Structure 1
């Protein structure tokens, strides 16, 4: 992935503001974040560093449902991702709010703890009320699952 996507973020520095620019290009102009282009160009570093190891560890433990595992992995991704969906709909302050909310939930065990199952419902309602949608993290969850199943077949 790194080899075939090498340099794709370079085009962000040469934007012509007079042409129709993409959502990601607008965010780069405003925040200097490379969004999914940067993630792809890095070889999905966030997935390989954070979410895939968490997914593999939880599956290996053999005591959680795939739903519980995915919710837990999503929380890790919210913490470690510059989620351009949140950033684009809101601002850096709201992104930091989402990240700190997920981090606090993980500190208490995340979705895998009894209190975490209750807290995630509260966080979900709060995010809905504030129109916070961690779509970038959700996309990376899908990539995490893709990588896992490419490596392991359908073995859970």
Structure 2
């Protein structure tokens, strides 16, 4: 009987439950893939085309997102082990983020697909792992902002590039770049994107249209450094005002809204302006939105 039990155990194919860190990494990658798949996005890579990009396509965006899974898991593991917001944790996730970026670059042959998203989602994954009892947007953004405010002493020494495009443009135009968005607790997500996502769902616009509306809402106020780098203030004004016109016309679920969205797409393409910063924040929005439904009380027992 003992031998039978041992043999039975050997053939037991029941998978081990995923850890909290693994589930958070899953959700972060899912958010990146869902953002990439969302269509029709103005001047961005989606299921229709590569938007304003000549070096990107949807398959590359998927591969890039999947390459970041280990980095997100390791960030969550570090937060669980530390369980406190402190300089050591900030420097650890900074190092893991740079290692994740290097893995992404190897996957994409040097194309920057998700540098801004690594920063945003890395902080949010870490914030979620620090206190899985509080997965509310307010709690997450507050913890992420506290982390982002801590200086990473090793960042400059480890970076292979002296300054990102976003940092250069933020200094030139005085715009709030990715770092400042995080330090402020992602206001474009919590105050603009998420509320619009909820409103559009409540209006019965359907999930894909609700997500498009959330992206457009973010675009109405964001000083998108990707757009500023490519098209300057003209491009930024075109993005912000065009996105507002779509929402004013009833959003992406309406015929008039779709017409305005197509006009915005054509205008941004003509300016070679791709709202990559808004896309990164939409991924952050989708990640925060699904945390409590996906994890809920189960995280309290991990």
Structure 1 segments unaligned to the other structure (5+ residues): 9-18
Deviation digits for residues 113-139 of structure 1 (CA, Å, limit 9, x no counterpart): 221122212221222222121111111
The reply to whether residue 84 of structure 1 matches residue 200 of structure 2 is: no
The reply to whether residue 44 of structure 1 matches residue 181 of structure 2 is: no
Give TM-score scaled by structure 2 length: 0.44
CA RMSD of aligned residues (A): 1.9
Name the CA distance, whole Å, in 2 between partners of 1:38 and 1:109.
Answer: 31
Within 5 Å, which residues of 2 pair with 1:26-41?
Answer: 26-41=168-183
Give TM-score scaled by structure 1 length: 0.82
Within 5 Å, which residues of 2 pair with 1:19-30?
Answer: 20-30=162-172
Name the CA distance, whole Å, in 1 between partners of 2:178 and 2:210.
Answer: 23
- 3-state DSSP class of the match of 1:110? coil
The reply to whether residue 134 of structure 1 matches residue 279 of structure 2 is: no
Name the CA distance, whole Å, in 2 between partners of 1:24 and 1:123.
Answer: 22
The reply to whether residue 5 of structure 1 matches residue 167 of structure 2 is: no
2:69 aligns with: none
The reply to whether residue 94 of structure 1 matches residue 235 of structure 2 is: yes
- Would you say the 8 A contact 1:27–1:84 is kept in 2? yes
Within 5 Å, which residues of 2 pair with 1:47-126?
Answer: 47-61=189-203, 63-126=204-267
Aligned pairs, number: 143
Q: Name the CA shift for 1:111/1:21 in 2 (closer, same or farther; >3 Å).
A: same
- Would you say the 8 A contact 1:7–1:41 is kept in 2? no
After the TM superposition, which segments of 4 or more aligned residues of structure 1 sit over 6 Å from their partners?
none
- Would you say the 8 A contact 2:148–2:182 is kept in 1? yes
Name the CA distance, whole Å, in 1 between partners of 2:243 and 2:163.
Answer: 31
Which range moves more in the overlay, 129-138 or 142-151?
129-138
Name the CA distance, whole Å, in 1 between partners of 2:202 and 2:273.
Answer: 32
State the Cα distance separating 1:7 from its structure 2 match.
5.0
Q: Name the CA shift for 1:122/1:24 in 2 (closer, same or farther; >3 Å).
A: closer
- Would you say the 8 A contact 2:228–2:235 is kept in 1? yes
Give the number of the structure whose alpha-carbon radius of gyration is greater. 2
Structure 2 segments unaligned to the other structure (5+ residues): 1-143, 152-160, 296-302
Deviation digits for residues 68-88 of structure 1 (CA, Å, limit 9, x no counterpart): 111111111110111110011
Name the CA distance, whole Å, in 2 between partners of 1:92 and 1:78.
Answer: 14
